[in-house]
Amino acid sequence: MYVCNCNGLRQRDVARAIEAGATRPREVFQRNQCEAQCAKCVCEMRQMIAESREVYALAAE
């Protein structure tokens, strides 16, 4: 499924960037060699980042 239609970023692209250390949507774009255009995807990216933080926090317990 596409997260960013402007840049053709799929969920897996965003997930890889998060796994590689991206903690902000800007960093997700940088890791995928693109930049925000309409920014409609930023909320979904933030949600994915927050969810991954929760998973990592639970794993650390």
Report the SS3 class of residue 3. strand
Place of tokens 């990592």: 56
d(CA 5, CA 19): 21
Q: Which residue ranges in the chain fall short of pLDDT 50?
A: none
| DSSP line for the chain | -EEETTTTEEHHHHHHHHHTT--SHHHHHHHTT---SS-TTHHHHHHHHHHHHHHHHHHH-
d(CA 8, CA 6): 6
Identify the pLDDT of residue 33: 98
Homologous superfamily assigned to 2-60: BFD-like [2Fe-2S]-binding domain (1.10.10.1100)
pLDDT > 90 fraction of the chain, expressed in percent and rounded: 85
